[in-house]
């Protein structure tokens, strides 16, 4: 086997460009900052980005279906606020959580109905929902912070299972479940048909409207779970939760290889995207660099990952690199 053929075999690995970038960053940080790979810092890295990670699982399905959901940035604080209000009114932990998740699911249902019935573009309707929810959150709280949660509620954001922080454990379980279902369950695999060609999917007998309801409700429930975990972590809830989180979630999904045009992507790539952004954020903490440089560095690393992926894609397909770059730039 020639060197070129060996390289082409290696490039069949999905998300190799992003994976290579992540490995290089980890190696560099481990050399200059030995504490970077310490158990404590790894836990900090995971806990600092676990909310985005949980929401990214649902967003992966949404974007594969050629949709988008901006409303999660409103659902997250809404869920945190509502669970806090229910707890303060002595509904009990289990009932409070279920009611908060039910209300979160209702938001996803409304989004899906606007998409299905009114034929509103997902970007527009979820942006409208996000704006509305931010107003609702302010009205409910009157701009104040909701506090007074029972100690037993702290477990969801601060507890441990087998020595692992509960939020990270929960994400790992859900990530495994989503990966399996997306690979092996026929119902979940419909998302690729819908995102690839919605008309062909409709002619093949797929109930598109019902599936759209399913994934948008699921996405809102995951945002609600993230809100509950955040409320438990901070022992409070306020309208400041989730600012800009929708863009971070969408970004990690896209750099993980999910196509905005739909029909392409997987949970494994999304996890790599999550890891990439989490490492960049943690790098700033470790180095003590000014946070206003964060977007510059993050954007630069994102470009490197994209460039590597394009180069590897050209090698994988056996096309000329320059030709691939011309097509990419144009």
Q: What is the pLDDT of residue 5?
A: 47
Q: Which residues neighbour 3 within 8 Å (Cβ) at sequence distance 6 or greater? A: none
Which comes out higher in pLDDT, residue 224 or 318? 224
pLDDT digits (tens, 9 = 90+) for 282-314: 887 777 767 667 667 656 665 665 566 566 656
> How many CB atoms lie under 10 A from the CB of residue 294?
14
- What is the spatial distance between Cα 25 and Cα 298, in angstroms, rounded to a whole number? 12
pLDDT digits (tens, 9 = 90+) for 35-79: 888 888 888 888 888 999 999 999 999 999 999 999 999 999 999
- Of 7, 58, 52, nearest to 316 (Cα)? 7
Report for 11-15, 220-224, 297-301: range of highest mean pLDDT: 220-224
What percentage of the chain reaches a pLDDT higher than 70?
Answer: 84
Alpha-helical segments (H) within 151-293: 155-158, 166-184, 186-196, 198-203, 208-234, 245-255, 267-287
Which comes out higher in pLDDT, residue 17 or 264? 264
Q: What is the pLDDT of residue 12?
A: 45
Q: What is the pLDDT of residue 131?
A: 95
pTM for the whole structure: 0.86
- What does pLDDT average to over the chain? 85
Report for 23-32, 206-215, 310-319: range of highest mean pLDDT: 206-215
Where do the DSSP E strands lie in 38-91? Answer: none
- What is the spatial distance between Cα 253 and Cα 244, in angstroms, rounded to a whole number? 15
Q: Kindly tell me if the per-residue pLDDT of 211 is higher than 60.
A: yes
Q: Kindly tell me if the per-residue pLDDT of 254 is higher than 70.
A: yes
pLDDT digits (tens, 9 = 90+) for 135-183: 999 999 988 999 989 999 999 999 999 999 999 999 999 999 999 999 9
DSSP for 29-92, written as a single string: HHHH-GGGGSHHHHHHHHHTSHHHHHHHHHHHHHHHTT----THHHHHHHHHHHHHHHHHTT--
Q: Are 327 and 314 in contact (CB under 8 A)?
A: no
Q: How far is CA 168 from the centre of its chain?
A: 14
- What is the spatial distance between Cα 229 and Cα 155, in angstroms, rounded to a whole number? 9
Q: What is the pLDDT of residue 70?
A: 94
Which comes out higher in pLDDT, residue 109 or 260? 109
Structure tokens at 60: 């992966």
Q: How far is residue 290 from each of residues 33, 48, 180, 243, measured CA to CA in Å?
A: 17, 18, 40, 20
- What is the spatial distance between Cα 177 and Cα 186, in angstroms, rounded to a whole number? 14
Q: Kindly tell me if the per-residue pLDDT of 279 is higher than 90.
A: no
Structure tokens at 327: 């097509």
- What is the spatial distance between Cα 279 and Cα 130, in angstroms, rounded to a whole number? 28
- What is the spatial distance between Cα 247 and Cα 180, in angstroms, rounded to a whole number? 26
- What is the spatial distance between Cα 116 and Cα 192, in angstroms, rounded to a whole number? 18
Kindly report the backbone phi and psi dihedral angles of residue 237, in degrees, each rounded to the nearest multiple of 5, phi listed first: -150, 135
């Amino acid at each position: 086997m020639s060197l070129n053929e060996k390289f082409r075999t290696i490039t069949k690995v999905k998300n190799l460009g992003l994976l290579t970038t992540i490995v290089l960053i980890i190696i560099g940080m481990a050399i200059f900052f030995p504490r970077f790979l310490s158990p404590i810092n790894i836990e900090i890295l995971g806990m600092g980005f676990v909310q985005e990670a949980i929401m990214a699982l649902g967003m992966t399905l949404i974007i594969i279906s050629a949709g988008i959901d901006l409303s999660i940035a409103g659902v997250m604080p809404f869920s945190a606020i509502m669970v806090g209000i229910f707890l303060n009114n002595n509904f009990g932990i289990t009932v409070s959580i279920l009611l908060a998740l039910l209300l979160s699911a209702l938001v996803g249902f409304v989004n899906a109905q606007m998409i299905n019935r009114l034929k509103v573009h997902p970007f527009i309707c979820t942006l409208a929902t996000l704006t509305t929810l931010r107003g609702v959150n302010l009205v409910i709280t009157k701009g104040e912070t909701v506090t007074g949660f029972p100690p037993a509620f702290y477990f969801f954001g601060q507890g441990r299972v087998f020595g692992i922080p509960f939020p990270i454990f929960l994400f790992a379980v859900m990530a495994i479940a989503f990966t399996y279902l997306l690979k092996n369950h026929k119902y979940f695999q419909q998302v690729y048909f819908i995102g690839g060609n919605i008309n062909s999917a409709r002619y093949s007998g797929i109930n598109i409207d019902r599936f759209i309801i399913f994934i948008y409700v699921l996405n809102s429930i995951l945002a609600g779970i993230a809100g509950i975990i955040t409320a438990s972590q901070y022992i409070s809830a306020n309208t400041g939760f989730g600012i800009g989180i929708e863009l971070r979630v969408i970004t990690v999904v896209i750099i993980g290889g999910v196509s905005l045009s739909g029909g392409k992507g997987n949970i494994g790539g999304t996890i790599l995207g999550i890891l990439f952004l989490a490492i960049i954020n943690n790098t700033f903490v470790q180095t003590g660099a000014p946070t206003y440089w964060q977007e510059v560095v993050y954007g630069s690393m994102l470009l490197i990952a994209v460039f590597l992926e394009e180069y590897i894609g050209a090698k994988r397909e056996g096309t000329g690199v320059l030709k691939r770059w011309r097509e990419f730039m144009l």
